[in-house]
Structure 1
Amino acid sequence: MDIPGISPDLQRRLADGMARVDATLRDAVRHEDEFIREASSHLLNAGGKRVRPLLTLLAAEVGEGINDDVVTAAAAVELTHLASLYHDDVMDDADVRRGSPSANAKYDNSTAILVGDLLFGKASELVADLGAEAVRIQARTFVRLCAGQIRDDRPHPGDADPVEYYLQILADKTGSLIATAARYGAMFSGCDERTVGLLREYGERVGVTFQLADDLIDVASDADAMGKLPGTDLREGKRTLPVLYALASNDPADARLQQLLRSDLALDDAAHAEALGLLRDHPAMRAAEERTEAVARSAREALEPLPDGEVKQALSAFAALIVSRVG
């Protein structure tokens, strides 16, 4: 992800830092067993936006800049993310990830789960070199990530507001790790406790924005743009924000869409296509876009106490860039 409006000097520092992160990641997935090495490298080689390590490096620029500990922390966060993707693809029975066969499709479910576990272990190994507090943060982040995934995979409890409950799931399963990415960057670049807290809060809000934007992209984009089939969440019966808004409508004209959204679309291609088309044109999409933009604004507002300068502007642009992927 290229951040618009930053100076060539900052762009160079971030690029150099990302090259060091990539080298650390490559070293982490090495293994004497050729099959394990190949399977561990599969999603790393598939590419990705590298949002989390980039944010770690950018947050470090608020302090004294990128150093060895910042690079190690950035790599650990990305390994944690990659590990979770192996497990996600098994849970979702996915066929494609980042435009390539998913690990479970290329190998099998057992291999994908075990490789995910292996990468979690490698992430923990990196974090162990950063001290007890970093290990504690990693552990608590992992608990939140898993708790969010568990709740996301279960029916919504009837006594909770559906939208607020969903936003809390996103804060846990996505926001927690992006919050840790920003927190580590600030911690290991010498920032004071207050600044570390500001960047942690900013990161969590960016993480929620990121997932909300992905939910919109799943509905609005075509397969070529996404690297996977559109409407995957609909097919899996996930009630993302646009779905929740559509289901909350009292307009009688929405009865057909609501009927489709409450049905099993997993194997009915015609019904799935109809639901996707109706949802794309529904006001729920605009309402979800507005909520996504509002969360992104709240992320930028979290930065207000920081001193003005290029890095603060870059962090603000980073949050805006997450939203701009929609459409």
Structure 2
Amino acid sequence: MVTATPASELDGAPRGRGSKFLSGGQALFASSEQKDVARALDKGLDAIESGLGAELSYTHEIADAVSRYLFDAGGKRIRPLLTLLTAQWGEGATDQVITAAQVIELTHLATLYHDDVMDEAVKRRGVTAAQKVWTNSIAILAGDLLFARAGSLGVGLGGDAMRRQTDTFERLVVGQMRETVGPKEGEDPIEHYLGVLADKTGSLIALSGEFGVTLSGAPVEYVPAIQGFGEHIGVAFQLVDDVIDLSADEEETGKKAGTDVRRGVATLPMLLLEKRAENHASDNELLETLRKGATGDLSEEEFSEAISSLRHHQVTTDTTEEARKVADKAIAHLAELPEGVVTDALERFAHQVVERTQ
């Protein structure tokens, strides 16, 4: 397994957006080669941001305002970052790599609009959810508009790339359907949930890394390892989100503690609690209290107390541990790739995903 360079050895490196995420705010790149990669990432992200701004400009006032809403609210841009990073094995941030990263991010942004309508979300990225500002219909149409723009932009990538994009989009939608319908009779709810995360989140992150390889001229034999890495990173990312959802720091997370629990959305802590409740009376009592809160049968004070109990429960600790295990599986795929600055950064990327707090 590749070992990342310790942060203590990396003083004096560039601290742009890409290198900052990979280092958690500390310098990641020390050698000349590492600094070159850091600069390439930050320059590439700037180009992607600029291009997305142009792609999200429409002649119709409402289309322009709604489609730019979540983009302007920010975001980590981890998918474009992964595309840029894996492209360093090839010719770097070529025009096609930049375009591919924009296609991926537009697709991701589109799913956020639709997800928030389906989940009846109140906030996203620290701002009021789009359907609360406008309407469900406008938010859905904004998502459709972004999907259309992603498809139009992606035409220039060629047939093979867009086939992979549409295949991934299909998998993403099927994952959303599976989440909505729930596990089949006799299916393990936890295994079902992890499969949904692989479809909904892992597939698009995997494609991000794949595009960086295939569109930069990097060796195609790297693709399977990057696909495995990206899919596991996506699952780990969502598991960490399950834990962050329970955070009491609303200012940091941008939403109320236990937002998913309040909406009755499946999360791993709740699924693990359901499993424990079969054999532990105290766990069953907490589970029933949380379910009552989700249906509006508790006072805010009682519900907040129950969410706090879940936050400090063993199942939430177990969720964090599961996220680390999945990230380790992602890192294991890197053993199939050549050692060097890119692989080091990918390992750091995995660690940052599970160490984040927002």
Q: What residue identity is the alignment partner of 1:228?
A: K
Q: What residue identity is the alignment partner of 2:317?
A: R
Residue of 170, 177, 182 corresponding to 2:197: 170
Contact persistence 1:265–1:271 (CA under 8 A): no
2:268 paired with 1:241: yes
Q: What CA deviation, in whole Å up to 9, does each residue of 1:51-90 have, x standing for no partner?
A: 1111110111122311110000000000000011111111
2:181 paired with 1:154: yes
2:326 paired with 1:295: yes
Q: What is the deviation of 1:161?
A: 1.2
1:208-227 matches, within 5 Å, as 208-227=235-254
1:8-157 matches, within 5 Å, as 8-157=35-184
Q: What CA deviation, in whole Å up to 9, does each residue of 1:85-137 have, x standing for no partner?
A: 11111112222111112111111111111011000001011111101111111
Q: CA–CA distance in 2 between the matches of 1:143 and 1:270?
A: 42
User: Where does structure 1 lack aligned partners over 5 or more consecutive residues?
Assistant: none
Q: What is the deviation of 1:275?
A: 2.4
Q: CA–CA distance in 2 between the matches of 1:131 and 1:295?
A: 33
Alignment RMSD: 1.5
2:22 paired with 1:3: yes
1:207-286 matches, within 5 Å, as 207-249=234-276, 250-263=279-292, 265-267=294-296, 268=298, 269-286=300-317
Q: What is the aligned residue count?
A: 327
Q: What CA deviation, in whole Å up to 9, does each residue of 1:183-218 have, x standing for no partner?
A: 111111112332012111111111111111111110
Tell me the SS of whatever aligns to 1:220.
coil
* Greater mean alpha carbon deviation, residues 43-52 or residues 56-65: 56-65
Tell me which residue corresponds to 2:336: 305
Q: What residue identity is the alignment partner of 1:257?
A: L
Q: What is the deviation of 1:240?
A: 1.0
User: Where does structure 2 lack aligned partners over 5 or more consecutive residues?
Assistant: 1-19
Contact persistence 2:119–2:265 (CA under 8 A): no
Q: What is the deviation of 1:155?
A: 3.2
Q: TM-score, normalised by structure 1?
A: 0.96
Question: Runs of 4+ in structure 1 displaced over 6 angstroms?
Answer: none
Q: CA–CA distance in 2 between the matches of 1:92 and 1:315?
A: 32
Tell me the SS of whatever aligns to 1:3.
helix
